[in-house]
Amino acid sequence: MKVAFQMDPITNVDPEADSTFRLAEEAQLRGYSLFYYEPDKLTLEDGRAIASGHFFEITGQENKNVKLGPVEIVELRDFDVVWLRQDPPFDMHYITTTFILDVLKSKTLVVNNPFWVRNLPEKLFVLNFPELIPPTTIARSIDVLKSFKEKHGDIILKPLYGNGGSGVMRLNLDDQNLVSIFEMFTGFSREPLVAQKFLPEVNKGDKRIILVDGYPVGAINRVPVPGEIRSNMHVGGTATKTGLTQRDLEICKTIGPALREKGQIFVGIDVIGEFLTEINVTSPTGLQELERFDGVNAAASIWDSIDQKLEAFVIK
């Protein structure tokens, strides 16, 4: 099998934490041929998706984890699987790559399905499940945001297309900075803002649940550092061992069919207390932490699912 990874510079990833690296490692163990290219090296020409990159091997060496071959220009339709794995921001650059990868849909399996990655932004997709999420509004109107804060008091404000915890702010009952924050955000961006009722349970952690083809395979808990409300590991949050509660399973059972229908094979959802807060389809993480804590090889489960889908894909 030939597999291509569209991702950020592979030589910069942490081999002990990066989920894309773990997916590539598992693929190599299965004897798959691996190719890597960066989003800037993706081209659409005469209806063909073309990429400039490197075939590579995982070496396992401490100082050189990846061995890159020479630069090659390839047609992605010649690959069995293409992974869409660059990190957000979810901007027009990101979105354009999903349009280009769409041309492969009759030839190559793209994971996750780029059409639905484009149309399922994490902070918008959850709104399809109002019974699972905390009170939330998405607005660019200061009057709407003021009304939401008056109703709920202690709230979280964050950019709609932000990632990694960037720009997330808590405005508690006595905070008088809503208008200033609104002016700051809208001064440099045309995007709406997300306002959400603050969940104090976040102090105990923000649970990341890994789903493979819509089914939960395990979870890790991300605990914020003292004095922080953000539990993202990008901003210092610590991953700890946890399990799945009955409520977690109910959430997964509710959203699972939509994920399967839309070709979202590898998904990470965020749960705080009893509430679903995000459905991450762009470039979810947590595979290596889950494997260390629980011995769950989610990367293997993902490739098993892909193998099954490829069989159906070929038959189709």
The residues that are catalytic are: 123, 158, 208, 222, 230, 270, 278, 280
Angstrom distance (rounded) from CA 309 to CA 214:
14
Which own/partner pairs from 251-256 qualify as long-range (CB within 8 Å, at least 24 positions apart)? 251/132, 251/209, 251/276, 252/209, 252/211, 252/214, 252/215, 252/216, 254/129, 254/131, 254/132, 255/129, 255/132, 255/214, 255/279, 256/211, 256/214, 256/215
Angstrom distance (rounded) from CA 55 to CA 145:
49
Angstrom distance (rounded) from CA 72 to CA 51:
8
Element (H, E) at 180: helix 178-188
Nearby residues of 52 by Cβ (< 8 Å), 6 or more positions away = 37, 41, 43, 71, 72, 73, 74
Map residue 109 onto helix, strand or coil. Answer: strand
Angstrom distance (rounded) from CA 148 to CA 23:
42
Q: State both tokens at 209.
A: 């649940």
Element (H, E) at 247: helix 246-261
**Of 305, 268, 284, which Cα lies nearest the Cα of 126?**
268
DSSP 8-state assignment for residue 263:
T
**Of 22, 167, 162, which Cα lies nearest the Cα of 85?**
22
CB count in 10 Å sphere of residue 64: 10
